[in-house]
Chain A
Amino acid sequence: MNTVETKNEDSKTATETVAKTQISGSQAVLEALLAEGIETVFGYPGGAIMPIYDALYDYNDKLKHILVRHEQGGIHAAQGFARTSGKVGVVFATSGPGATNLITGLADAMIDSNPIVCITGQVFAHLLGTDAFQETDVINITTPVTKWNYQVTEASEIPEALAKAFYIARSGRPGPVLIDITKNAQVQLFDYLGYKPCSHIRSYRPKPIVRNKHIQEAADLINQAKKPLVLFGQGVILGKAEKEFKEFIEKSGIPAAWTVMGLSALETDHPQNVGMLGMHGNYAPNVLTNECDVLIAIGMRFDDRVTGRLDKYAKQAKIIHLDIDPAEIDKNVKTTVAVWGDCKETLPILTKLVDKKSHTDWLAHFRELEKEEVKEVIQEELNPSSDIMTMGEVVKVLNELTGGDAVIVTDVGQHQMVACRYAKFNQSKSNVTSGGLGTMGFGLPAAIGAWYGAPERPIVAIIGDGGFQMTLQELGTIMQFGAKVKILILNNEFLGMVRQWQQLFNDKRYSFVDITSPDFVTVAKGYHIDGQRISEREQLKDALKTMLDHPDSYLLEVMVGKENNVFPMVAQGSSVAEIRLK
């Protein structure tokens, strides 16, 4: 099977050309990546993926490989890369533990629709199922957390398998794909006929057919509406439909509220941007969800953190749902009109059909309620009367310094909600966070990937003291490869979000939320990353400025109030209209 035709000097026949185009499975993998326009790969080598790494040695000038410190870091970095670049993130990992370390990232990418291609090494095909060294049943383990996966046992399958992988990962509703390649397939030589990108799979329809009739019905509802409200999610960003979205809301004059995943699709200062939805979202859009007459959901999936109690969610409203994924329609909230399709295609049709309006009084209603939120929550959060710093004021000063041009990457917890609430954004693809899965430890590796996805932009990773300790080994990746990530640790010496719940719902029984931290600045120093720790307000602006102006990565630890809470809050089991301000 691996024989190369012997050259016949006398008659140079076609056999020689065939012989010349024999390449190994590993080379085919790398050729596929180059053909797909991939320049950066995040990964970690190991026994079963060694042939691919051996081939990579010769591709070093064309493919940049970032050696992470843990495979979870690798996949989160690929996610960050995908989020800021809009391209597919690629990860290499070995079999067994290498592959199982990807699971959290796959689950995260699956629920947040990140286009990711993971390539894992696997034991030799004849050893499959024998409990060989570092063998694990990767295909079955990853099935629930991948959009598609496939095991390659023969080199000749590789070009087609990878072409399908990239096509599936990025088309339709994006998602993670895993290709598991046995070691024999990596070393095997085969007749390479070139790489053909995939643009069609017969059993896969990435985009539902757009039905104009339903768009007309949606337009009719919108045109009759007195109090319409738009909810937008990441679908707008994934569909690269920010412009189409803006044209729609500007013509229809409808106030627009965002989910955490939709953040930055519309600039913060847009007059129709009425804020964040859901559990720690803004007061007005939550309360008025239960007052609007037509709710237009665009590229969002009515997550329970957005809807609160479903049986009390927008019952008075007619629901229009625009989504590319038919399985999202009616999944949580029953729709009146479903507009299936890519919102890049459906929104312009809808915009044409809606009347030009300005819902001035209705919009003023949002601004009224906003004043209440400012008075009760925002004022104190951004301009605290106490000496102790709040997370909100740190984000406020950061906004002043970046002007809203930075990419904000967050981890998970209180700081995440505060960052999403208060960070200012001028452009899309600027907010990188673990929305659906809520993966602590996401922030630092995702920020590294975010930098490779948008190296020209300032990348600020806002991380809590808890989450930072979950993946801080990735400081090593920064040290070795030079990603310019500004790490802003908001340290409240607690696992703050759980503590907040224990305070509000468990009678302050603070059960294992009191977490101690190492000296983060010293840890960073160990990795040759500059940094400082501050606890006084007067240091804040200078410290943030030092961080942002630093030519390399930098770690700034800010000590904030230990028992501050994030408000407003829709308590679990409550309706969004019952959102509490304190």
Chain B
Amino acid sequence: MTKQEYTLTIYTENKVGIIGRIVILFSRKKINIESISGSPSEVAGIFRFTILINESEEVVRKVCRQLEKQVDILKAYFNTNSEIVWQEQALFKVATEKVTEGADVERLARIYGARAVVIRNDYTVFETSGHTEDIDKLTEALANFGLIEFVRSGRIAIIKNSEGFHKKLKEFEREEPAPEVKENEFLDKQDKVFTM
């Protein structure tokens, strides 16, 4: 079966260590995760991970079933690129003298819709978002102007056809609010704790 890009959207409880339970299901099958990003979802109390992998549909389907089987995972979706709207964000740091030298950097920024978020005497930071290829192109172009630092986020994606699930999710959280996240409160308290 042919491999292609699949974007997985995973709704989980917000719990210490949940990301570990997710990633081992990929590494166990020796699947490389191209990118991963996690944050709270549109419904407070429910976390959302977006994972990009290159695999056949059959493998992705099985991984999703294994994901959903985990106690703290609510739902796992997998979508091809045509079923989602997706973006990546990137930050570029360029020496300010290169930016002011000519019109080239400014022109590039206009073409790629990048905007300056910080301008200092010594450096300028641009920000842009788009598909992987767009960011690749801008990175390549800026390399000619002494790109000092570059960082890109993992893919984030909106599922085109997600209204139904969104409604269910909101109801789900309303009926049974998320349990409180318990963290280790004692890490910086060694002086005050008796040990043996």
A residues contacting B by CB (< 8 A) are 124-129, 139-140, 143-144, 147-148, 151, 153-154, 157, 168, 182, 184, 201-204, 325-327, 329-331
Number of A-B contacts (CB under 8 A): 70
Given A127-B195, A331-B62, verify A326-B186 contact (CB < 8 Å). no
Asked whether any CB of chain A lies closer than 8 Å to the CB of B107, the reply is no
B189 and A126 form a contact (CB under 8 A): yes
B74 and A203 form a contact (CB under 8 A): yes
Q: How far is the CB of A395 from chain B (nearest CB, A)?
A: 37
Asked whether any CB of chain A lies closer than 8 Å to the CB of B71, the reply is yes
Neighbouring B residues of A143 by C-beta, 8 Å: 17, 20-21, 24
Neighbouring B residues of A140 by C-beta, 8 Å: 17, 20
B71 and A126 form a contact (CB under 8 A): no
Neighbouring B residues of A201 by C-beta, 8 Å: 71
Per the 8 Å Cβ criterion, residues 153-196 of B in contact with A are 172, 176, 182, 184-190, 193, 195
A128 and B187 form a contact (CB under 8 A): yes
A153 and B185 form a contact (CB under 8 A): yes
Neighbouring B residues of A124 by C-beta, 8 Å: 186, 193, 195
Least CB separation from B62: chain A residue: A331
Asked whether any CB of chain A lies closer than 8 Å to the CB of B68, the reply is yes
Q: 1/0 per position for B6-18, CB-CB distance to A under 8 A? A: 0000001100110
A144 and B68 form a contact (CB under 8 A): no
B residues contacting A by CB (< 8 A) are 12-13, 16-17, 20-21, 24, 28, 61-62, 65-66, 68-69, 71-74, 172, 176, 182, 184-190, 193, 195
> Which residue from B61, B73, B186, B195 sits with its C-beta under 8 Å from A153?
B186
Q: How far is the CB of A576 from chain B (nearest CB, A)?
A: 23
A325 to B185, CA, bound (A): 37
A153 and B71 form a contact (CB under 8 A): no
A524 to B82, CA, bound (A): 69
New contact pairs (6) apart from A139-B17, A184-B193, A325-B69, CB-CB < 8 Å: A128-B184, A129-B187, A157-B182, A182-B186, A203-B13, A204-B71
A327 and B184 form a contact (CB under 8 A): no
A327 and B187 form a contact (CB under 8 A): no
Given A127-B195, A153-B184, A154-B185, verify A326-B68 contact (CB < 8 Å). yes
Q: How far is the CB of B66 from chain A (nearest CB, A)?
A: 5
A148 to B15, CA, bound (A): 12
Neighbouring B residues of A184 by C-beta, 8 Å: 186, 193
A157 to B179, CA, bound (A): 12
User: Can you list 21 pairs linking A and B with CB atoms under 8 Å apart?
Assistant: A126-B189, A126-B190, A126-B195, A127-B190, A128-B184, A129-B187, A139-B17, A143-B21, A144-B24, A153-B182, A154-B185, A168-B71, A182-B186, A203-B72, A203-B74, A326-B68, A327-B62, A327-B66, A329-B65, A330-B61, A331-B65
> Which residue from A129, A157, A203 sits with its C-beta under 8 Å from B73?
A203
Given A140-B17, A201-B71, A203-B73, verify A154-B182 contact (CB < 8 Å). yes
A326 and B182 form a contact (CB under 8 A): no
